[in-house]
Amino acid sequence: MKRILLIVGGGIAAYKACELIRLLRGAGHQVRCVLTDGGAQFVTPMTLAALSEQPVHTSLWDLKDEAEMGHIQLSRQADLVVVAPATADLLARMAAGIADDLATTLLLATDKPVLAAPAMNVRMWLHPATVRNVDRLRGDGVTVIEPDQGPMACGEHGPGRLPEPAAILAAIEARLGVGCQRLAGKHVLVTAGPTHEPIDPVRYIANRSSGRQGFAIAQAVADMGARVTLVAGPVALPTPPGCTRIDVETAVEMANAVAQALPADAAIMVAAVADWRTESAAGQKLKKAAMAPALALVPNPDILAMLGQSPHRPRLLVGFAAETERVVEHATAKRAAKNADWIVANDVSGDAMGGNDNRVQLVTADGVEHWPQLPKMAVAQRLAERIADAL
Ligand code: CTP
């Protein structure tokens, strides 16, 4: 049992805090809530009190509270302070060290770890001021989890949605080092993102992989206690907490980084590795000529197949198959050809590449499982559970 001090900020996503309290209590934790003035516009103290079965704190100037439980004590009694939803304004005040209400005073007074789950409009999330504030908070040791992408209450679309309560619970338990640490002591190797194959110093061959599914898998297995090596192609995603990240650019660099990271108990090859590279990249920028240049291509190493044949083959070897047609048929053939245990077949005919959701089918020795369309983080958590079962 851990004691969570949950600060509920002002945003439409505050209703999800109610579900989070339910999940936290179901997992055996005690929750005490602080509701900001903004938060109280969306949920009532009564709702939070009923769900948490604890008094709810709202005002810095509530003398009764100060007499019975000073705010310093309130912040120090917890094992973890969670801010969900964390609005742009709340993040800004946290980053600046402002203490002008109960929530921010507690956050400044606490000596306990802090985890923030942001929720806001996409423009606010992408605004340089918010980017700066989040960087600063992370630098201060605050765990700021990534918001989800998708349609928003304001009618726009993009990153900024509060992650699902189950994902916040997983992040909380990972930060606390509790929960189902089913992969403790295991080394899991994950590749993610595209590769860039240079043509000349300024041009390259690439693909549409965003890296988000691979990063989500790295995070999900790290949340379950695994030691994770994340070999990442060129993507601008933040490193999931608890993962060792090795940045690479080309398939050859990725293959070398993977070989160096062995041995591993499981390898999940999510990267969209370019099958071909230019025979030799031009040393100088190619100049426009009358004729289009002919690019001589040579095959790249197949990293998954290489692991499949390696004397250090991980006990569980998982590949992804991005297909636009005959998904299961191709995935089944890849499983055999690359000596993988499982292939996660991924229909990329829609907007899976770069999108928030993924619809996958898991091809194993036992047959094919059809999973429903799920957010990439949920696909990752489900896969992580299966990996833990297998190991
Ligand atoms: N893969 C790899 N190294 C490569 C190519 C692919 O490790 N050079 C891995 C991917 O990470 C993925 C799986 O192999 O786990 C399937 O990749 P995909 O590109 O879909 O398959 P290919 O073997 O390249 O076949 P095709 O392009 O014909 O579909």
Q: How does the average pLDDT of the chain come out, rounded?
A: 91
Spatial neighbors of 322 by CB under 8 A, at least 6 apart, are: 272, 346, 348, 352, 353
Is residue 51 helix, strand or coil? Answer: helix
Q: Please list the residues that pair with 343 across neighbouring strands.
A: 319, 363
Give 193-240 as a 3 state SS string: CECCEEEECCEEECCCCCCHHHHHHHHHHHHCCCEEEEEECCCCCCCC
Average pLDDT over residues 188-204: 97
Judgement on whether residues 264 and 204 belong to the same structural domain of the protein = yes
92-98 long-range Cβ contacts below 8 angstroms, 24+ apart: 92/129, 92/130, 92/133, 94/133, 94/137, 94/142, 95/132, 95/133, 95/134, 95/136, 95/137, 95/140, 96/133
pLDDT of residue 181: 81
Judgement on whether residues 26 and 70 belong to the same structural domain of the protein = yes
Judgement on whether residues 172 and 51 belong to the same structural domain of the protein = yes
Task: Look at 88 and 135; give whichever has higher pLDDT.
Answer: 88
Judgement on whether residues 357 and 288 belong to the same structural domain of the protein = yes
The pair of three-digit structure tokens given for residue 39, joined into one six-digit string: 């938060």
Judgement on whether residues 105 and 250 belong to the same structural domain of the protein = no
Confidence band, pLDDT 50/70/90 cuts, at residue 63: low
Judgement on whether residues 167 and 209 belong to the same structural domain of the protein = no
Average pLDDT over residues 380-387: 93
Pocket probe for ligand 1: among 303, 307, 341, 348, the residue whose CB has the most ligand atoms within 8 Å is: 303
pLDDT of residue 347: 84
pTM: 0.73
Is pLDDT above 80 for 177?
no
Confidence band, pLDDT 50/70/90 cuts, at residue 352: low
CA of 272 to the centre of ligand 1 (A): 7
Confidence band, pLDDT 50/70/90 cuts, at residue 117: very high
What is the rounded distance in angstroms from the CA atom of residue 51 to the CA atom of residue 21?
Answer: 7
- CA count, 13 A, side-chain hemisphere, 151: 2
Q: Which of 131, 155, 176 is the last residue of a domain?
A: 176
Quick: pLDDT tens for 131-158. 999 989 988 889 999 898 888 777 888 8
The total number of structural domains in the chain stands at: 2
| 267 within 8 A of 318, measured Cβ to Cβ | yes
pLDDT of residue 67: 59
Average pLDDT over residues 84-113: 95
Atom of ligand 1 nearest to the CA of 321: 20
Closest residue by Cα to residue 239 from 222, 256, 263: 222
What is the rounded distance in angstroms from the CA atom of residue 354 to the CA atom of residue 209?
Answer: 6
CA of 303 to the centre of ligand 1 (A): 8
Judgement on whether residues 146 and 252 belong to the same structural domain of the protein = no
Is pLDDT above 80 for 62?
no
What is the rounded distance in angstroms from the CA atom of residue 263 to the CA atom of residue 266?
Answer: 9
| 343 within 8 A of 330, measured Cβ to Cβ | no
Confidence band, pLDDT 50/70/90 cuts, at residue 339: very high
Closest residue by Cα to residue 223 from 378, 355, 4: 378
Judgement on whether residues 215 and 340 belong to the same structural domain of the protein = yes
pLDDT of residue 61: 74
Is pLDDT above 70 for 24?
yes
Q: Which of 134, 159, 176 is the last residue of a domain?
A: 176
| 34 within 8 A of 7, measured Cβ to Cβ | yes
Q: Which of 160, 176, 192 is the last residue of a domain?
A: 176
Judgement on whether residues 228 and 168 belong to the same structural domain of the protein = no
What is the rounded distance in angstroms from the CA atom of residue 387 to the CA atom of residue 350?
Answer: 27
Q: Which residue's CA lies nearest to atom 23 of ligand 1?
A: 334
Please give all residues whose beta carbon lies within 6 A of any atom in ligand 1, as ranges.
191, 251, 269, 271, 273, 275, 300, 302-304, 319-322, 334
Is pLDDT above 70 for 68?
no
What is the rounded distance in angstroms from the CA atom of residue 391 to the CA atom of residue 388?
Answer: 5
Atom of ligand 1 nearest to the CA of 320: 15
What is the rounded distance in angstroms from the CA atom of residue 305 to the CA atom of residue 155?
Answer: 44
Task: Look at 389 and 75; give whichever has higher pLDDT.
Answer: 389
Task: Look at 71 and 315; give whichever has higher pLDDT.
Answer: 315
Pocket probe for ligand 1: among 273, 320, 329, 330, the residue whose CB has the most ligand atoms within 8 Å is: 273
Confidence band, pLDDT 50/70/90 cuts, at residue 357: confident
Judgement on whether residues 272 and 151 belong to the same structural domain of the protein = no
Judgement on whether residues 259 and 382 belong to the same structural domain of the protein = yes
User: Is the dihedral angle over the CA atoms 43, 133, 147, 26 positive or is it negative?
Assistant: negative
Judgement on whether residues 185 and 172 belong to the same structural domain of the protein = no
Is pLDDT above 90 for 349?
no
What is the rounded distance in angstroms from the CA atom of residue 86 to the CA atom of residue 30?
Answer: 20
The pair of three-digit structure tokens given for residue 13, joined into one six-digit string: 């996503």
| 383 within 8 A of 183, measured Cβ to Cβ | no
What is the rounded distance in angstroms from the CA atom of residue 312 to the CA atom of residue 218?
Answer: 21
CATH code (residue 325): 3.40.50.10300
CATH code (residue 65): 3.40.50.1950
Task: Look at 283 and 14; give whichever has higher pLDDT.
Answer: 14
Containing structural domain, residue 101: 3-176
Q: Answer yes or no: 154 catalytic.
A: yes
